Amino acid sequence: MKIVGVILIALAIVIAVVPQFLDCQSQGRAITLADGRLIPMKCHWTAVAEIALGVPLVGLGALLALSKRRETRRALGVVGAMLGAFAILLPAALIGVCAMNEMLCNSVMQPTLILAGTLVMVISLGAFGFSFGGKEVEPA
C-alpha cells in the first residue's frame, strides 16, 4: 500500500501545483472592467480551489502509505475517491475554465486535472477494493 500512497501524493501535488502555472492569471491575462479594473478569470478560482483539494489529498496519501488496518484503508479509499471526483468537477462543472480552446487553462489545465482526478479516483477505489482481501497486518 506504500506505493499507492506515494502515487496519490504525487497526483495530489500535480492537482495543487500545476494549475497555478497554467491559469490565465499566470499567463498575464485578466478581465478588464468598464472602469479599467482588472479581475481574474474563472480558471484562476478553479486553480485556487484545487489547492484546497490537493493539500488534504497529500495527507490522505501519507496516511494510506502508513496505515495497516483494513478499516482505515477502506475509509481513506472512499475519501480519496470523493476528492478525486471534486478535482474533476471543479474545472468541468462547478467553477469551470475559460471558453477559448487555445487558452492554456482550457487546453492543458482542465485535461490535466481531469486525468489526475480520474487516476486518484481509480487508485482510491482500488485501495478500497483491495482492503477487503488479503491478510491484515497487525499493528506492532
Binding site for other proteins (CB under 8 A): 99-102, 106-108, 110-111, 114-115, 118
**Residue 96 CB, nearest distance to other proteins (Å)?**
11
Determine the Cα–Cα distance for residues 23 and 29; give it in Å rounded to an integer.
Answer: 9
Question: Which one, 31 or 52, has the nearer CB to other proteins?
Answer: 31
Question: Which one, 37 or 101, has the nearer CB to other proteins?
Answer: 101
Helix axes 110-130, 70-89, angle to 10 degrees: 160
**Residue 132 CB, nearest distance to other proteins (Å)?**
16
Helix axes 70-89, 42-66, angle to 10 degrees: 170
Question: Which one, 51 or 99, has the nearer CB to other proteins?
Answer: 99
Question: Which one, 55 or 91, has the nearer CB to other proteins?
Answer: 91
**CB-count burial class (<10 Å; 0-12, 13-18, 19+) for 5:** buried
Residue type, 41: M
For cell 480551489, the residue is 49
**Residue 31 CB, nearest distance to other proteins (Å)?**
11
